Amino acid sequence: MDKKIISTAAIFGMLAIILGAFGAHALKKVLSIDELATFETGVKYQMYHALFLLFIGLSSLAEKAKKTIYNLVVIGVIFFSGSIYLLATNGHFIPFDFKVIGFVTPIGGLLLILSWGVLLVTILKKK
């Protein structure tokens, strides 16, 4: 499980850097200041949770807790950051209105919060 968690952390981290650079250079010419700030929010939260997964993968937490945190973070990042990327670039590249999927952003955020909550409860229960 640790190899899977750390590999996912590396993938999320690499993608966050790539998307951050893409946003700072290529999208800067296309997006408004507000859209670019929104896009950067997605990048930041993706990177925060890449580092979180790295910490979890290297920790001595129980496998059940690691698996739960992993699943919450992966789905949370896809929902939260993924939807933010689509909403920030809405109408610029793909002729589809991504506002219809906007409801997944807070669901992703909730899953990310729950992942930290699982860590907290796991640590508090530890003897």
Identify which has the larger pLDDT, 46 or 32: 46
pLDDT at 97: 77
Amino acid identity, residue 7? S
Q: Report how far residue 51's alpha carbon sits from residue 86's, in angstroms, rounded to the nearest whole number.
A: 23
pLDDT at 92: 80
Cβ atoms within 10 Å, residue 28: 12
Q: Is the pLDDT reported for residue 26 higher than 90?
A: no
* pLDDT band per the 50, 70, 90 thresholds, residue 104: very high
CA 27 distance to own-chain centroid: 19
pTM of the model: 0.92
Digit-coded pLDDT (tens) for 108-118: 999 999 999 99
Mean pLDDT of 92-113: 88
SS3 annotation, the chain: CHHHHHHHHHHHHHHHHHHHHHHHHCHHHCCCHHHHHHHHHHHHHHHHHHHHHHHHHHCCCCHHHHHHHHHHHHHHHHHHHHHHHHHHCCCCCCCCCHHHHCCHHHHHHHHHHHHHHHHHHHHHHCC
